[in-house]
Amino acid sequence: MEIYLIRHTAPAIESGICYGFSDVDVADTFEEEVALIRTKLPAGSFDVYTSPLQRCRKLAAALFGEVAISDDRLQEMNFGDWEMKPWESIGRAELQKWADDFVIEKVPGGESYEDLYTRSMEMIAELIEKGNDAVLVTHGGVIRSVLAHVTNTPLVDSFEIKVNYGRISHLHVEDDQIKVIFYNS
């Protein structure tokens, strides 16, 4: 079984803004980025799933038409009260409390990285049980958490795994074992 994880293209948001769960649109470079992704897509028949956020839905539709199944588990981390605020405007003490243990510390009004990891892995387990080749059009946090699981990287160290916009990661599943074929390609 093959699973391809595709990160959405560049979002239309200025640098330094905290966003995750917010429904940010795609940047003006969308069409060029889609063209590049198409050159890297594998041939075959896939079940296609997407985050319901428009930056993923638009990419899924551009690549696969309207066949993608929307799944909330594929959304980016919910930064709660911090969503759409400049990082520099978030109180230092509040930000430091989260940064000191971001894996289990929930963002005020949001979720923890562990929450994102749990829902991401629930989705992967469900796909493995179905056994069909699949493409997931999703976000960096989801992809990074899945790759951390597969590579036995502790979540606290997983931000060393680079996941760029518009890149594909490929997982191979056999006998319930998952291995990374490539990532961030």
- Reduced to 3 states (helix: H, G, I; strand: E, B; else coil), residue 21 is coil
**DSSP β-bridge partners for residue 136:** 5, 49
| CATH tag for 2-182 (out of 3.40.50.2020, 3.40.50.720, 3.40.50.1240, 3.90.1150.10) | 3.40.50.1240
- pLDDT value at position 176? 83
The two counts, helices (H) then strands (E), for the chain are 5, 8
CA distance 63 to 81: 33
- pLDDT value at position 93? 95
Give tens-digit pLDDT for 100-130.
Answer: 999 999 999 999 999 999 999 999 999 999 9
Give tens-digit pLDDT for 31-65.
Answer: 999 999 999 998 889 999 999 999 999 999 999 99
Percent of the chain whose predicted confidence (pLDDT) is above 90:
98
Does pTM surpass 0.85? yes
CA distance 29 to 36: 11
| Average pLDDT score over residue span 153-180 | 96
